[in-house]
Amino acid sequence: AYYYSLAVNYKHAGDLEAAVRAGMHSAALYDGGSVSLEVAALHNQLALTYLKLGNRKRAAAFASQAAVEARSLGDERALAGIIDTQAQIALAEGRLEEADELGGRAVGLTESEGGHLAEAVGVIVAAVVLFLICILATVALFFINKRRYAR
């Protein structure tokens, strides 16, 4: 628990490399094969940290592992947060439709569990997806008009 807390604190302080080191040390201590909610949360935190570092492949691997662990525990609230992490990864990779679908699934899980934080995050992810779609449409219209007036 100490190294997990240390990893989370390093992440919030902005020292992402130290967060990864503390998180990996914590994961090694849990590497007894038993799955717990704390292990799933640790893997989700590592996914979020790797996402901030720009390593989307490692982020996706840790998020996937955390999702498997949360499903095996039957913890839908934890799973909602992990699916939200997967939505953030999809968004960072430009997979807007998948990010939107994952955000919707996270919201759906929180509605059944009564969790408002993950629901709010899911709504934020959906808003970011819509914002990016609007930006892409604006850029496309700009270039269409620029080409039209260049003739």
Q: pLDDT-based confidence at 14, cuts 50/70/90?
A: confident
Mean pLDDT score across all residues of the chain: 80
Question: Which of 12-16, 72-76, 130-134 comes out lowest in average pLDDT?
Answer: 130-134
Of 78, 47, 20, the C-alpha closest to 11 is: 20
Q: pLDDT-based confidence at 29, cuts 50/70/90?
A: low
Give yes or no for a contact between 110 and 116, defined as CB atoms under 8 angstroms apart: yes
Neighbours of 62 (CB within 10 A): 25
Residue 118 has pLDDT above 60, yes or no: no
Q: pLDDT-based confidence at 139, cuts 50/70/90?
A: confident
Cβ neighbours of residue 24 closer than 8 Å, sequence gap 6 or more? 46
Condensed to tens digits (0 to 9), the pLDDT of residues 68-104 reads 999 998 888 889 999 999 999 999 999 989 988 998 8
Residue 141 has pLDDT above 70, yes or no: yes
Of 62, 50, 55, the C-alpha closest to 19 is: 50
Q: Which two tokens stand for residue 137?
A: 């449409």
What is the C-alpha separation between 5 and 38, in angstroms, rounded? 11
The secondary structure of 109-128, three-state, reads HHHHHCCHHHHHHHHHHHHH
Taking the model in full, what pTM does it have?
Answer: 0.66
What is the C-alpha separation between 145 and 141, in angstroms, rounded? 6
